[in-house]
Each structure stands twice: as structure tokens, then as C-alpha cells.
Structure 1
Amino acid sequence: MSGRVLVTGGTGYVGGWAIVALLERGYDVRATVRSSGKEALVRAAVASEVDPGDRLSFAHADLLQDEGWDTAMDGIDYVLHMASPLGDESSRDADALIVPARDGTLRVLRAASRAGVKRVVMTSAANAASPTSYTAEGVTDETLWTIDSPSLPAYRRSKTIAERAAWDFMAASSGGTELTTVLPGAVLGPVLTADNVGTASIVQRMLRGTMPGAPRIGLEVVDVRDLVDLHIRAMTEPAAAGQRFLGTGPFIWMGDIAKVLGDQLGDAAAKVSTRVLPNVVVRIASILDPSLRAITISLGRRNRHSTAKAQRVLGWVPRPAEETVVDCAKSLIAHGAAS
């Protein structure tokens, strides 16, 4: 393959693996970072999997500011917009997440359009294509849009609103830039460095024994390597233009994740608790621990998403959740991040 791809959020868990996969496929990559001090960290993380040589460069740009984005887009063929503003999910101010996510996405799209980028692939979330009611169950697909409500967690609202804003912008744009969105589930899998484990922190906490039990929450686990593969397929497939693609994996309860770790890792999983926490215990704990508030409404819920479209249009098939979970744990152990 040839071409130059801009990856926003090069310091992120998914962004790092995207850089690796693009380099392995022969692309030149430019990654956005907020400061030059992050460049060496990204390069070292990527080098653990592939030699970046002179095919990895950096641009300084912040989703909260206009400056730097035109320079970042110069000479770029494709954009993987994976960056998400940092925020406190437990904060009662939802706009702290919503406004930066929406405005940052629009900054990226405006700059991409001005530069004549061929296609932007934006990372949204499966929760942007889910029933608003957490009591509803069933299988949904990309045709469903989450109806925004102040009762929803701020992160879910930010992803839905940002993706909506992206599609509204493209509908009003007269340029030739195309948009595709990818809606992942719970992203796990190997880590590139102990300093940035991203959402793999779920498995990390289990291995460290800091999770006294597993809440009855189900995850649609997608391997970070499979998710990146989906983005790249969506980036180049002509039929993917103007489409949403769910990138979820198999559904698995957190209690079953703990059991898989115990069964597959032996002594390395000695601290993993396979106890399933009663819902009432989690709800009481959330009164004292604000970080738990966002998950209480998911207790016992079994909503699932269909990836039939991604399989049909892009030929994408995710690996088993058990394989992803074990690879994630082994990677954390190998990087010294499990104790």
C-alpha cells in the first residue's frame, strides 16, 4: 500500500496500534500529539512492534484549539480520527466531555476538507447506536441512533453528539472529502507499553486484585488489533464511503472474563476474583465512589450489536473474546503492568 495517513490521538491505546498496523501495511504515518515531549514515547511504543524508520512523523495539534490542524493535514490522503478529549466521566457537568468531543471532531473535518483529504474514518462508539433505554434488550445495527438524553452517561452522549455533528457537517459540505464512522465495543487486547494501557485497565485491575469481584456487566469485547483492521478496511474500501460500521465483538459477562483468566493463566491470575458482585452492592458502592455511577445503569443489561454489515461490506471478522482477554492479560504481564 502507499499513501500518507494522519492518525489523531497518536498517544492513545487504539491510536498506537493504528500506527503499527499502517506502517506494517506500507503507509507513511503522521500522528498528532499535543506536545513534542510525547513524540519519543509514541515512537518507542510503536518500535516494540515495527521499526517506524523515517515513515513516522508528528504534528502538534490539540482538539481544543484551531491552531495546527491545517499543517497536520498538509499532504495527507486519509485521516483516522481516533482522538478523544480527556474528561471525568463521573463529573456532573456533561458538557466537559460533550463540547470538546463535538468541537474537536468539527475542527478535524474542517481541516481535512480544506486540505482535500480523500476520506476521514472517525471512531465513534457502539453506544451511539443503542436503545436509549437500558431496560431494552435485543440486537441492534447501524440504522439505529441513540436518542440523546440527560439521563445517559456523559461519555455516551459525547460520542453520539460528536458523530451526529460529523454527519451534519458532511451533509452541508460541498467538498470531495468522504466520511466513514466506526462504532467499537469494549476495546481490549495487547498493550504496546505499560505506560498506556487504555481500556485494558479493566483486565489490569483484575490481575492486580484491586477489583473485589465482577459486577454483572456484559461487554462486547473487540480486540484492538481487529478494531484497527476495521478502520483501515473502512479507509480504502469504495463502498464504505458515507457509511457507519459497528465494530463490536462477542458478548461476554465480566464474571466470565475473570473465569477465563483463572482457567488460562493459572498462578498468574491468582489475584483475580471470580466472585460476581450483587447489583445492590455495586449501587451502594456507587454512592461513595462516583466512578461507579456511570456503570450502574448497565447492570444486568444484555444489549448487543450486529456486525453483519462490516462482515458483508468489508470482510471483517473479529476474533473470539476469550482469545482477546488472554492476549491482553499476557501482554500486561510481559510489560510488568499486572502487579
Structure 2
Amino acid sequence: MKPVVGITMGDAAGVGPEIIVKSLLSKEIYDQCQPVVIGDAKMLERAVGVTQADVAVRAIKQIADAKFELGTIDCIDLDLLPADLPFGQVSAEAGNAAFEYLKTAVELAKEKKIQAICTAPLNKEALHKGGHMYPGHTEILADLTDTENYAMMLTSPKLKVIHLTTHVGLIKAIEMINPERTYNVVKLAHDTLTRAGFNNPSVAVCGINPHAGENGLFGNGEEEEKLIPGIERAKEEGINASGPHPADTLFFRAGRGDFDIVVACYHDQGHGPIKVLGLEAGVNITVGLKGGVIRTSVDHGTAFDIAGKNIADERSLIEAMKSAIELAPRE
């Protein structure tokens, strides 16, 4: 059977509804999965008007009511937002709604009614105003699934990156890194790629300091203290891990095929190279969630500045849906 993919609307004041509508015009997507949106039907209908798409919106209350027909978007309608929600403005209502969409999707995934979650972007300021004090999707998902050992993974056609830390300041990120975290993320990278069909995937770990510390010349021994013991532990278990490597050359080497995935130490170290390759190609994947919950996402934000103008690019969401389809369980 084709997997059922739940697409959460994210912050409806942003480009989420528009890119969802544009993505679900694709016959290729319907050929590969059964998509259902989790959000507000009225926001999708407004997006249909903005995009002038030849598609209808069907408001439903449960997965069993979905028909999964190209030309009609099935939407589990939580009906949380006013029809005149302003585009491009931070709103507590929209922030709370984005959380509730995701919570509903997780509940459906736990019940095996959907096989994967694909998320449109949310706005962190709106999320906080709505009463949900999380840094982003990844941390919400970890909390809702009671998962402690998880990581953010970014993929593009030429590069895969997984992170030791994400949405924290640089000084805090370095404090948070330790051998146990290094080992866990290396193992998550190995296990994820192995399940995806990679044979003995090669996992390369970035250094924290310039030139990976260059044997103590730069930094205060962070590589030796925080990274190397975790890498060695993984290698002892038969994982094809290496590093720490200098970050200024590692991403180039991985991009040309020397390694299957890079372990980045902090947010910008990993996000920068992926985004240089093109926002339309990047996909964000949450790795390690309990219960086998699969989650993929666009690798861009709510783009408030262009919301409601019919210029948002849907290609990253299409790539995220394809990744969700690829990773979804088929039991």
C-alpha cells in the first residue's frame, strides 16, 4: 500500500498553505503516497485563491474520511484560526495552531493511521507567543514522543548532514557536546542510512575548532575531550566513522562522494553548506524518534515577507514529501 503522509500546515500566516497547495498539484506525489493535510481548511481555501490553483479542498475529521484523489486536497480540519488571519504577521493564534497541528499528526502516527509526517514551517516567535516554549519542530516532536536521543538531519542530492547540537548559541553548543552525544549521533547516522539501504555508510565528524584543533594548536582540546572518545567507541562497534575532520574541507569532500554523511557540531556549521546548495533542494529530517515516527520538513522558514503573494517555491516541500515516502514504514 502507498503510505499515508500527514502534512502539517505550520504557521498559516506564512507560506505553508501556499506551498502545500502547489505541492499537491503533483500527480507524482499521489502516485507514490496518500497525502492528507492537518490544519485549517479555510486557510487552504485561501491559499487556493492566492495561487489560483485548479484544486478543491475537502474538510474532514478523520483519516477514514479521506479519498486521496488528485484534484481534491483532504484536510483534517482543526478549525483553529480566523478566516482573516493576516499574512506575514507574528500571531499567538497561528503559533498555537501550528503546535496543535503537529500534536495531532504525532497522535495519528502513534496510532499508525499515518506512516510519516511532513511539516511546513512554523515561526518560533509565534510559537512562543502561543504558549509553547520550544526552539522548533524537532524539540516538540522529541517531547511528544518521549524521545531523549534524537538528532536533526539535513539532506540534499549531494550532501547529508546530522547535528550534535541545533538551536542553541555557539558557546552553549560547545558546552553541550560530550563523548556520549558524539557516539549517539554517529550511531543514529549509521543506523538511519543502513535502514535506507546504504552498505557500511561512512560517517565523517567535523572538528569544533579551525583545522579540527590541529593537535592542540587551536582551541582548548575540545576535539580530544568531546569528539574523539565518541568516534573511537563507534569504530569499536564496527561503525565506519572517522574524524574529527577540518570543517573547511570536509563538506567539499563529502559533496564529491568521499563520505556518506557529515556530523556537524553546531547549527550553522551544518546548515550553511546545505543551504548554499539551494533552499529548494534541502530536506530536514528528525532522526531517532520513538515509535518509529518519521518526520521530514522543508529546510526554510515561514517567509513572512512573501506570504500571500503566490511567489513561494514549493520544491523543498516536494522533496520533503519524497523523503517521507522513502523512509515511511511499509508494514
TM-score tier, shorter chain, comes to 0.3 to 0.5
Q: Kindly indicate whether structure 1 or structure 2 has the higher relative contact order, using CA contacts under 8 Å at least 6 residues apart.
A: 2
Normalised by the size of structure 2, how large is the TM-score? 0.37
